[in-house]
């Protein structure tokens, strides 16, 4: 049985999914200069990416954004699975923010004016982590309801 997202998960899924889908579609149409800039920034934070040509990297990044955004927007994709994808993707973006010089005030996690563009990705990480913990809350709540029922009615006792 497919379980649709809970009402509390719909707004963050829609907002984050639409944002990522739009960003990915925009990057798919990136020109050479934009691809070089995106790739250069990523290579500064993650040197192993230098092996990829800028156009290929930007296309892969765009496809990743489109995939994660689409998973968030598709109601049949379980929230926990969409949250896992969002957490993984946004962890890389937060890593970019933490590793790039000039993005943070010295000795602080607070962003500089230039860092605000990347610091905002931390909200996606928070949403993804929240989606990962949601199923656990539901199971605990169901267990508490079951335990209360057993205490009240004298049934279901061990």
Q: Does residue 3 form part of some domain?
A: no
Euclidean distance between CA atoms 14 and 85, whole angstroms: 15
Which DSSP letter does residue 150 get?
H
Q: Does residue 32 form part of some domain?
A: yes
Count of domains observed in the chain: 1
What pLDDT digit, counting tens, does each position of 33-44 carry? Answer: 999 999 999 999
Task: Find the domain containing 123 and state its range.
Answer: 9-153
Euclidean distance between CA atoms 32 and 65, whole angstroms: 19
pTM given for the model:
0.81
Q: Does residue 1 form part of some domain?
A: no
Q: Does residue 17 form part of some domain?
A: yes
Q: How many CB atoms lie within 10 A of CB 120?
A: 13
Q: Identify the segments of the chain with pLDDT beneath 50.
A: none
Q: Does residue 158 form part of some domain?
A: no
Sign of CA dihedral 28, 34, 71, 13: negative
What pLDDT digit, counting tens, does each position of 4-15 carry? Answer: 888 889 999 999
Helix ranges, the chain (H): 7-28, 32-45, 54-73, 79-99, 116-119, 122-153
């Amino acid at each position: 049985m497919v379980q649709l997202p809970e009402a509390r998960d719909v707004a963050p899924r829609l907002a984050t999914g639409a944002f990522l889908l739009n960003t990915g579609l925009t990057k798919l149409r990136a020109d050479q200069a934009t691809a070089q800039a995106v790739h250069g920034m990523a290579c500064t934070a993650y040197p192993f990416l230098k092996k990829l040509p800028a156009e290929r990297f930007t296309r892969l990044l765009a496809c990743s954004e489109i995939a994660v955004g689409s998973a968030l927007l598709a109601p049949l994709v379980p929230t926990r699975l969409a949250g896992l994808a969002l957490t993984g993707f946004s962890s890389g973006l937060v890593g970019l923010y933490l590793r790039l010089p000039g993005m943070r005030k010295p000795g602080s996690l607070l962003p500089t004016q230039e860092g605000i563009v990347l610091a905002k990705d931390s909200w996606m990480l928070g949403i993804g982590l929240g989606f990962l913990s949601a199923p656990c809350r539901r199971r605990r709540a169901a267990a508490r309801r079951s335990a209360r029922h057993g205490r009240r009615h004298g049934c279901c006792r061990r």
